Homo-oligomer: A and B are copies of this chain.
């Protein structure tokens, strides 16, 4: 097997990122507005609130994965091990499920099973991303760097999976923590 050239690895990944993030909005249900009354329309729209919150959460989470993915790929020039390739493909599998899971919540707002599906997809994406990060750091000679940081996503998403049957609100709360954590800059090279 020839080594995988980085540019095409990034190009394919960026394509999947771009499509997944754009499809989030396509999944939004367009309400058929039955009235011209502003009051009624506002009530109809506010029933869409869980959908809108979930859309924004999914969008921001995918964007953060993209920023982190981009930073990871800057650590190597060519892919030396097949396992990096397949860890990335496993991560992309979960990434493509995010629009599906977002749609599951729109179709079944506040349903524990929809929350479970949503949390489980984020958990899978997060774990596979940590595996990818581990392999890349190892090849770059720094296996232990950022491993603590890597645990935040899987941990909170696992708690979200568990909490999904007890409380939708705790579940949502737990799902936003990794987004906030990874959103904040790690250091001050770039503010």
Contacts and interface: CB of A to CB of B under 8 A. Distances in A.
Interface string A40-64: 0100010000000000100110010
Interface stretch (A111-119, A125-133, A151-159, A171-179): A111-119
Tell me if A's interface is mostly helix, strand, loop or mixed.
helix
A190 B82 contact: yes
A89 B112 contact: no
Q: How large is the interface on A (under 10, 10 to 19, 20 to 34, 35 or more residues)?
A: 35 or more
Interface of A: 1-5, 8, 10-12, 14-28, 30-33, 36, 38, 41, 45, 56, 59-60, 63, 66-67, 70-71, 73-74, 79-83, 85, 89, 92-93, 96-97, 99-100, 103-104, 107-108, 111-114, 165, 185-187, 189-191
